[in-house]
Amino acid sequence: MLDNDKVAQEILGAHDPNVKKLRSDLANLQKKIDDIQTAPANNPQLEQQIQSLSQLVHQALESSERLKVSVTLPPEKDMTVRLVTTHSIERLEEYKADENIAYLLIGLFGGSSLGIIGNWATSDDFATTKVSILLLLLMLALAIGSILWVYRIERRAAKVRSKILDDENQPLNPPPAQSQDPSSTVS
């Protein structure tokens, strides 16, 4: 379990110049305390050092008040990190790219088919020929083929996703199975 104070110190310590100053002030404070402890009792500069210590403590307290941060961590079960193979992620990305290509082809061939049908419907002198009918059938067949391709891609991607997510309940290092041998039990 992570300690909120340690997390806050890491977050602040990495980026805030005020934290460096606070640490420096606290290090100076510690040095002065050590000097006072080792100084003889009749030291005439003792009062001046105590005054200096008092100022350093006051500066450190002011700095620490400005640097307070509230860090709230989510529950431990929400912080669980799932490790998956990059191969699985790459496969999902490839499926998504293929799916986008298939949708592009559906739009291309479907739009071509609609364009041919629209020309037939709006043209007075357009004669339907075998070539135009074959072209329309080819465009419709390619559009339907692209739709089927999308369906296959989505099924494959769903299998990969379910494989990744179904492994969620399996622990990374399952405990070894303990089998009891009837001859080894003690009565």
Per DSSP, the three-state class of 27 is helix
Quick check: is 52 in a domain? yes
Do 10 and 51 sit in the same domain of this protein?
yes
| Per-residue pLDDT at 44 | 63
Do 9 and 45 sit in the same domain of this protein?
yes
Per DSSP, the three-state class of 39 is coil
Do 42 and 108 sit in the same domain of this protein?
no
Quick check: is 61 in a domain? yes
- Inter-axis angle of helices 86-122 and 130-166, to 10 degrees? 160
How many structural domains comprise the chain?
2
| Per-residue pLDDT at 105 | 95
CA-to-CA distance for 69 and 102, rounded, in angstroms? 50
Burial 7-19, CB ≥16 within 10 A → b, else e:
eeeeebeeeeeeb
Among 37, 66, 95, the domain boundary falls at: 66
Is pLDDT of 26 > 80?
no
Quick check: is 186 in a domain? no
Note the maximum CA span of the chain. 119
Q: Which domain holds residue 33?
A: 4-66
Do 103 and 43 sit in the same domain of this protein?
no
CA-to-CA distance for 145 and 153, rounded, in angstroms? 12
If one compares 57 and 169, the residue with the highest pLDDT of the two is: 57
CA-to-CA distance for 94 and 103, rounded, in angstroms? 14
pTM: 0.49
The answer to whether 7 touches 71, Cβ cutoff 8 Å, is yes
Do 158 and 91 sit in the same domain of this protein?
yes
Backbone angles phi, psi at 171, to 5 degrees: -70, 155
Do 39 and 93 sit in the same domain of this protein?
no
pLDDT in tens, 81-138: 878 888 888 999 999 999 999 999 999 999 999 998 888 888 888 777 888 889 999 9
Quick check: is 76 in a domain? no
* DSSP-assigned states of every residue in 100-133: HHHHHHHHHHHHHHHHHHHHHHH-SSPPP-HHHH
Quick check: is 139 in a domain? yes
Do 99 and 162 sit in the same domain of this protein?
yes
Is pLDDT of 1 > 50?
no
The answer to whether 74 touches 32, Cβ cutoff 8 Å, is no
Closest CA to 82 of 167, 162, 1: 167
